[in-house]
Chains A and B, each alone.
Chain A
């Protein structure tokens, strides 16, 4: 009995999948293109939603137009261009490379470059500072002690003997 109720619950859930619009496609590649486009094109009304996700009138119209154009055999760039000439660059989630948008690519690169320079410089500073501190007075003292021991090895060895 429990199994049957569980199965029924599962079957109940299946209906939710059927709420998406059903559009007939004869070609599976066109269907895939339509899916891709409706997920990449942005709704101008409910901003931050793609047109597949939005129920705004303009999104419904854009979806219908996308379907129409894809059915006509237009490729991805053609459909995106069609939308851009009407709704502007805003309508595609991928911004074009322009003077105003170049910073989107340049800034992370510059930041990375700056950080690299900083790290390298810091590294070199540390290395040079290590070299600088080597011939200090303490080192000289130590060297003197070593030299002293080295010149009279017998006495040192003899000291340690009982």
Chain B
């Protein structure tokens, strides 16, 4: 019994070490989305290329898709465009949600959809176009409702419009298999 007591501090030390050591490799950005297993919030957002077309949450239902939050101003998003384009060629459905950064009226910045269209077209021509279409969220309303903290972020949505997976950061060949498995499961349903 006394010997056991003697080892208690040692055991506590080892437990603490393991806990802190595992913390070295955890990614603090990987937070569970509060919207997991919940419906995509209601929205009404224009198509980036044809602003007269207004998309709603209901219209996107029917088949599973990835909702990819991105912007040309975001280097990591640009880096993943190539890989996402490969995925599109394999038949993966990806919808873009364009993250418009806040504009400062004091500096004479105004939202110009035409300039944005040109910029996006140029970028997608360079890097590849993985998107079926893009929603443009000028005031970041859907982005806010989705709890997006930055770009890129990707949500996997099933055919009923329920969010099934959430990924922060770029999608690349290393982390794709896990998402691919989740996607294939939804497709097979």
Contact = CB atoms under 8 A, between A and B. Distances in A.
A binds B: yes
B35 interface: yes
Contact of B34 (A47, A57, A85): A85
Contacts of A60: 102
Most buried by A among B34, B102, B145, B149: B149
Contact of B145 (A44, A57, A86, A90): A86
Interface residues of B, number: 17
Contacts of B148: 58
B34 A84 contact: yes
Interface in A87-123: 87-90
Nearest to A89: B34
A61 interface: yes
A62 B29 CA distance: 18
Given A86-B35, A88-B33, A57 B150 contact: yes
Nearest to A48: B28
Interface in B25-57: 28-29, 31-35
A26 B32 CA distance: 38
Nearest to A45: B149
A87 B149 contact: yes
A56 interface: yes
Nearest to A44: B149
A61 B147 CA distance: 11
Contact of A86 (B29, B101, B147): B147
Interface of A: 44-45, 47, 56-58, 60-62, 65, 84-90
CB-based closest 8 A-B pairs: A44-B149, A88-B34, A86-B147, A87-B147, A45-B149, A58-B149, A45-B150, A90-B31
15 contacts: A44-B31, A44-B147, A45-B149, A56-B149, A57-B101, A57-B140, A57-B150, A60-B102, A61-B102, A62-B144, A65-B144, A84-B34, A86-B34, A86-B145, A88-B32
Interface of B: 28-29, 31-35, 101-102, 140, 144-150
